[in-house]
């Protein structure tokens, strides 16, 4: 019995000491919080300049990383630089070497990209954002489309006050239900299929349910109150 | 005219909330469809009727805010209706709209009844599809509200969330809107207007009362409960006056007409919908 009490005391004392130690620790300093936060850390400064102190940085969360097929990085591995663009994303002239380039129109190759919300609804042309010839790759350092300045050089022309985060809006998004979206924009992909299953499931249940209700009420005898299924309840 | 016994089904507040939801939902459907189908001739006509693409969007935004206010007021109303000293009865009692195990049983019984295998279930105050109607709005509205606010204030949103969340918000907003409109214009309208026991209209939500005989045939357990609790006489209601019936029949059928018009055109032009 005495031994048990002694063991208990031995356990209680370190716990109490730990608690006391935790209470005596200084509160988190704002500077620590700032450095520790992946959302707030020098966000405005980094976003507008592309630099943190003397180091070149990329705006957090909108890093224009180049993805490798089948290899996912992070929870939401989408890059506004378009994930499938791997080899040609840092060229000064992204169309260099394309045969008969002068005779081609943008939509000849970029079919899906030429039919997005900006072109269809706001009547924007490709060059209003991508600039004139030679059209630099979106990740080329001097391109206005480079994520470090896209918000200021491109988005803010219409969306006054656009931030680097705002420029993370994927203008040329993949088809939401496609495998391409699964690889490059999984959140959109799963959101699409969740809503699709919900829509189809709801209607697949309730349309036949309503139809059968109508049919039964039309042709069948209505159940009298005394004859219901659980009248004994 | 022969007076038939009637029973009170909805109080004034319930009916006002329903009327408010009807009006705002229809406005949102028309303005939303005008945007969703803007790439089609029909969508552009709808926009033009509403004063143009931008005006239609403005109406959509303001009515959306009105809906959010209505939803908040509804929450406050619900809080006032909860019996705080008897939470069990409030949440799981027979007058509660919270789904329970009986709903599952009633669903099974109803399916058997569809095929003539069993007797119809004895519903109490709320049937399982009425509960579904209520909860569909209850979770759908916040989803539309949150994504709608995100899209209304994209710059502010991008300060809190990454910009690509706007892509997801567009998708969710449109998909939920399509779900809500198709459900209401097909299922809810059929149940409320067109099924034989409701035709030409289930007047409960407008008159506030229904014929006792009608309620007895579908919700006998409710009538029996009221009788056993001695509340049946207190629940008796008068038939609404003729002019009021004319008003709500015209209004109800106008809503039905708008819904069917949107639904048919929506189906015709559905290949042009882009959910994102």
User: What is the average pLDDT value for chain A, to the nearest integer?
Assistant: 74
Work out how many CB contacts closer than 8 A connect A with B: 149
The model's confidence at residue A161, banded by pLDDT at 50, 70 and 90, is confident
CA distance linking residue B186 with residue B256, whole number of Å = 10
User: Is residue A151 a contact partner of residue A106, using CB atoms and an 8 Å limit?
Assistant: no
Q: What is the CA radius of gyration of chain B?
A: 21
- Decide if pLDDT at A13 tops 90: no
The answer to whether the CB atoms of A169 and B154 lie below 8 A apart is yes
* pLDDT (tens digit per residue) in A61-108: 444 344 444 444 544 444 544 444 444 666 778 888 788 888 888 888
Cis, bond preceding B21 (omega within 30 deg of 0): no
The answer to whether the CB atoms of A169 and B109 lie below 8 A apart is no
The answer to whether the CB atoms of B164 and A76 lie below 8 A apart is yes
Q: List the one residue out of A95, A69, A65, A98 whose CA is nearest residue A82.
A: A65
Q: What pLDDT score does A33 carry? A: 43
| pLDDT-wise least confident of A41-45, A51-55, A108-112, B147-151 | A41-45
User: Is residue B31 a contact partner of residue B59, using CB atoms and an 8 Å limit?
Assistant: yes
CA distance linking residue A96 with residue B260, whole number of Å = 54
Q: What pLDDT score does B159 carry? A: 87
Pick from B105, B114, B155: which is nearest to A161 by CB? B155
Long-range residue pairs from A81-88, CB within 8 A, at least 24 positions apart, any chain: A81/A138, A81/A139, A81/A147, A82/A138, A82/A172, A82/A184, A83/A183, A83/A184, A83/A185, A84/A180, A84/A184, A85/A137, A85/A138, A85/A139, A88/A137
The answer to whether the CB atoms of A233 and B155 lie below 8 A apart is no
| B30 contact partners, CB below 8 Å, separation of at least 6 | B46, B50, B258, B262
Q: Which residue did the predictor score with more confidence, B64 or A221? A: B64
The model's confidence at residue B242, banded by pLDDT at 50, 70 and 90, is very high
* pLDDT (tens digit per residue) in A142-153: 888 888 888 888
Q: What pLDDT score does B26 carry? A: 96
- Decide if pLDDT at B146 tops 70: yes
Q: What is the ipTM of this complex?
A: 0.90
Q: What pLDDT score does A232 carry? A: 44
**Tokens 């910009």 belong to residue:** B163
The answer to whether the CB atoms of B162 and A165 lie below 8 A apart is yes
Cα separations (Å) of B119 from A33, A222, B128?
A: 65, 9, 17
CA distance linking residue B147 with residue B170, whole number of Å = 7
Q: Which SS3 state, helix, strand or coil, does residue A139 take?
A: coil
CA distance linking residue B271 with residue A157, whole number of Å = 33
Q: What pLDDT score does A58 carry? A: 53
The answer to whether the CB atoms of A165 and B163 lie below 8 A apart is yes
The angle, 0 to 180 degrees and rounded to 10, between the axes of the packed helices B165-182 and B12-36 is: 120
The nearest CA of chain A is from the CA of B11 a distance in Å of 25
* pLDDT (tens digit per residue) in B164-191: 899 999 999 999 999 999 999 999 999 9
Q: Which residue did the predictor score with more confidence, A29 or B259? A: B259
Pick from B118, B163, B191: which is nearest to A166 by CB? B163
Closest chain B CA to residue A77: B164
Q: What pLDDT score does B260 carry? A: 94
**Chain B residues in contact with A81 (beta carbon < 8 A):** none
Cα separations (Å) of B214 from B112, B203, B223?
A: 22, 11, 11
Closest chain B CA to residue A213: B114
- Decide if pLDDT at B150 tops 90: yes
Selected residue of A152, A206, A212 to mutate for chain B interface (largest B Cβ count, 10 A): A206
User: Is residue B114 a contact partner of residue A212, using CB atoms and an 8 Å limit?
Assistant: yes
Q: What pLDDT score does A27 carry? A: 64
* pLDDT (tens digit per residue) in A163-190: 888 888 888 888 888 888 888 888 899 9
The model's confidence at residue B86, banded by pLDDT at 50, 70 and 90, is confident
Closest chain B CA to residue A60: B162
| pLDDT-wise least confident of A45-49, A59-63, B37-41 | A59-63
The answer to whether the CB atoms of B158 and A166 lie below 8 A apart is yes
Q: What pLDDT score does A193 carry? A: 95
The tokens for B194 are 């067109």
The model's confidence at residue B271, banded by pLDDT at 50, 70 and 90, is confident
Closest chain B CA to residue A232: B122
Q: What pLDDT score does A142 carry? A: 81
Q: Which residue did the predictor score with more confidence, A47 or A206? A: A206
**Chain B residues in contact with A172 (beta carbon < 8 A):** none
The answer to whether the CB atoms of B171 and A167 lie below 8 A apart is no
Q: Which residue did the predictor score with more confidence, A223 or B270? A: B270
Closest chain A CA to residue B191: A210
The answer to whether the CB atoms of B195 and A217 lie below 8 A apart is yes
- Decide if pLDDT at A56 tops 50: yes
The answer to whether the CB atoms of A195 and B171 lie below 8 A apart is yes
The model's confidence at residue B59, banded by pLDDT at 50, 70 and 90, is very high
Pick from B162, B187, B217: which is nearest to A210 by CB? B187
**Chain B residues in contact with A167 (beta carbon < 8 A):** 163
Q: What pLDDT score does B222 carry? A: 92
The tokens for B88 are 């069990």
Q: What DSSP string describes B216-273? A: HHH-HHHHHHHHHTT-TTTTEEPPPPHHHHHHHHHHHHHHHHHHHHHHHHHHHTGGG-
Pick from A121, A210, A228: which is nearest to B220 by CB? A228
The model's confidence at residue A36, banded by pLDDT at 50, 70 and 90, is very low
The answer to whether the CB atoms of B164 and A80 lie below 8 A apart is yes
Q: What pLDDT score does A66 carry? A: 41
The answer to whether the CB atoms of A228 and B120 lie below 8 A apart is yes
What b/e readout covers A31-61, taking b as 16+ CB neighbours within 10 angstroms?
A: eeeeeeeeeeebbeebbeebeeeeeebbbbb
User: What is the average pLDDT value for chain B, to the nearest integer?
Assistant: 91
User: Is residue A172 a contact partner of residue A112, using CB atoms and an 8 Å limit?
Assistant: yes
The nearest CA of chain B is from the CA of A136 a distance in Å of 23
The model's confidence at residue A49, banded by pLDDT at 50, 70 and 90, is low
């Amino acid at each position: 019995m005495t031994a048990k009490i002694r063991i208990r005391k031995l356990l209680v004392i370190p716990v109490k000491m730990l608690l006391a130690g935790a209470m005596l620790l200084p509160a988190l300093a704002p500077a620590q919080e700032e450095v520790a936060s992946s959302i707030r850390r020098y966000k405005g400064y980094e976003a507008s300049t592309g630099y943190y102190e003397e180091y070149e940085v990329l705006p957090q969360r909108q890093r224009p990383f180049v993805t490798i097929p089948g290899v996912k990085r992070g929870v939401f591995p989408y890059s506004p630089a378009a994930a499938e663009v791997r080899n040609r994303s840092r060229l000064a002239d992204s169309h260099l070497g394309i045969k008969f380039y002068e005779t081609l129109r943008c939509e000849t190759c970029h079919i899906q990209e030429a039919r997005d919300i900006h072109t269809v609804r706001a009547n924007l042309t490709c060059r209003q954002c991508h600039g004139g010839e030679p059209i630099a790759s979106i990740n080329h350092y001097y391109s206005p489309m480079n994520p470090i300045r896209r918000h200021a050089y491109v988005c803010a022309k219409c969306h006054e006050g656009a931030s680097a985060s705002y420029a993370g809006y994927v203008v040329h998004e993949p088809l939401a239900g496609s495998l391409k979206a699964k690889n490059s924009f999984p959140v959109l992909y799963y959101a699409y299929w969740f809503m699709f299953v919900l829509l189809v499931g709801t209607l697949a249940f309730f349309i036949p349910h309503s139809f059968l209700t109508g049919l039964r009420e039309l042709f069948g005898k209505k159940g009298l109150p005394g004859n219901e299924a659980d009248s004994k309840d | 005219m022969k007076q038939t016994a009637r029973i009170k089904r909805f109080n004034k507040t319930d009916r006002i909330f329903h009327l408010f939801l009807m009006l705002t939902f229809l406005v949102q459907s028309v303005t939303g469809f005008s945007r969703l189908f803007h790439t089609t001739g029909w969508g552009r006509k709808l926009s033009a009727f509403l004063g143009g693409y931008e005006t239609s969007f403005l109406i959509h935004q303001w009515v959306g805010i009105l809906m959010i206010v209505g939803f908040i007021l509804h929450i406050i109303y619900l809080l006032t209706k909860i019996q705080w000293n008897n939470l069990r009865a409030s949440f799981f009692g027979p007058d509660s709209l919270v789904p329970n195990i009986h709903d599952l049983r009633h669903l099974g019984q109803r399916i058997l009844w569809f095929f003539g295998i069993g007797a119809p279930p004895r519903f109490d105050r709320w049937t399982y599809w009425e509960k579904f109607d209520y909860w569909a709005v209850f979770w759908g509205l916040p989803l539309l509200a949150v994504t709608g606010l995100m899209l209304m204030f994209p710059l502010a949103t991008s300060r809190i969330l990454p910009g690509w969340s706007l892509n997801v918000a567009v998708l969710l907003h449109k998909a939920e809107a399509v779900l809500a409109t198709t459900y209401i214009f097909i299922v809810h309208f059929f149940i409320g207007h067109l099924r034989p026991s409701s035709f030409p209209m289930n007047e409960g939500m407008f008159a506030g009362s229904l014929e006792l005989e009608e309620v007895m045939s579908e919700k006998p357990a409710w009538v029996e409960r009221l009788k056993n609790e001695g509340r049946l006489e207190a629940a008796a209601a008068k038939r609404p006056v003729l002019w009021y019936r004319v008003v709500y029949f015209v209004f109800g059928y106008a809503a039905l007409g708008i819904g069917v018009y949107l639904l048919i055109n929506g189906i015709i032009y559905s290949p042009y919908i882009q959910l994102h």
